[in-house]
Structure 1
């Protein structure tokens, strides 16, 4: 393959998403930080079939985006997300046969997979109601900022469903512990912001008026760091769940050797030698 052919191939796998026009939620990009706004505040920002699918497709595209290095997701108004829309989703599901039901549950699970596999760190800014599928969106993010008035609830048992939805039984225990996860998934009860923080679901609590700015500041700090290496960190955090310690150590040896070959690693050393702050460029 010639260099020109290689450049053309790579160009075809690069995307810029600043101009993306979302149909079912808000989307903006500034200084390589993307902000997703679930924007149905009159109903506490529920998800629909269409918003599930569009979010899944967008997170898949982020794998190839060159102009987005971190993502913030939040809800409009004073709530994060109330879950799947009762009238637009739950009511139609009652009448669907099993093959179509499985198509739906696989589609919602694919959204979580897309979030976990895109290289950008995802920060959920959680205020007010964070329930059902909304709780899954927050859980599937890499970091979560909450408020004292956040109300986290995995409501599936309240509607006659199992708590094992969209990876909850795998991911939630790794965040807050097996017993605490079991309590929330069996009972469907709400956990307060203070409780969620004490359990480790939230990295920290913020004042409601400062929540979005704090989340975007955290995202900007990540963007200013070695973003290629951040992508490796995210990959390994996810990948090592199913590894033995020996396998994890070997995988990290290989991953770190890759990072040592980047220009950002050289920049960090040069800045240290010059007693200055490194300016990372993600390559």
Structure 2
């Protein structure tokens, strides 16, 4: 019987194009660990508070884009090294070059950064951000674009685009942030660029919970492991519907959920849950 991390036994031609393992991938611009179905991505430039560059944006975009084909990853944790999450776009490697570019090149850049968010929202795996310390600019967007966020009391999240003369409407912030914390609170953060502290972020609903700096990554990984132990195919459907229903009427959403749930009722996990209930046992889900 296949496990949740094995490549399904399908025609080799179909598997080659649609089922892949990413554990052996060695990234250039971030660190990656895949263990027991959980991929931990670490932004790893601690001496600069883990800023993003043109290259790291592109590699993260491509990696998240490939996760839809991954058979060995069922949940993702994103974190930063050295006590900070991410300080945003690197001032010297991104901001400096941008002021010298013309409109076509600038649009290519802003579309690339937006494509990272789209890839994070489109991959079926739930993403958990483990946020400590500085979480600013594009770093705040990466945390926002995750499905859940574990923070610390000392974390400082800032959508500081207006502090550098830009609009707060960056990488989907005006669409996603109000859905997490509400329109008024999102407006305050995007108009002022002020930092949102960890305890305030938990009260506002930006953080699902807080942990100590020493434990924040472990708490996020434990939550990811709980999700991996659940019905991962159904979790992917849940993420898809949470995202797609933003643009649906209530009637369309109810019909879409009816179709999605009917598909989930065809899975072995649904049958396993029933038989485990009858036997008064805990179901062991396998993601199929």
Aligned residue among 258, 262, 269 for 1:264: 269
CA distance in 1, matches of 2:93, 2:58: 14
State the SS of the aligned residue for 1:124: strand
Structure 2 gaps, min length 5: 1-8
1:273 alignment counterpart: 278
In the alignment, does 2:264 pair up with 1:224?
no
1:150 alignment counterpart: 155
Change (3 A) 1:23 1:11: same
1:134 alignment counterpart: 139
2:201 alignment counterpart: 196
1:157-207 per-position Cα deviation (integer Å, ceiling 9, x unaligned): 000000000000000000000010000000000011011100000000001
In the alignment, does 2:56 pair up with 1:47?
no
TM-score normalised by the chain length of structure 2: 0.96
Aligned pairs, number: 280
1:165 alignment counterpart: 170
State the SS of the aligned residue for 2:284: coil
Shift of 1:13: 1.5
Aligned residue among 239, 245, 253 for 2:250: 245
In the alignment, does 2:83 pair up with 1:78?
yes
Shift of 1:9: 1.8
CA distance in 2, matches of 1:257, 1:9: 24
Change (3 A) 1:5 1:248: closer
CA distance in 2, matches of 1:21, 1:31: 17
CA distance in 2, matches of 1:275, 1:181: 46
CA distance in 1, matches of 2:169, 2:10: 46
Aligned residue among 31, 35, 38 for 2:40: 35
CA distance in 1, matches of 2:185, 2:194: 11
Which aligned segments of 4 or more residues in structure 1 are displaced greater than 2 angstroms?
A: 4-7
Aligned residue among 10, 23, 42 for 1:18: 23
When the two chains are superposed, the root-mean-square deviation of aligned CA atoms in Å is 1.0
Structure 1 gaps, min length 5: none
TM-score normalised by the chain length of structure 1: 0.98
Aligned residue among 115, 129, 132 for 2:120: 115
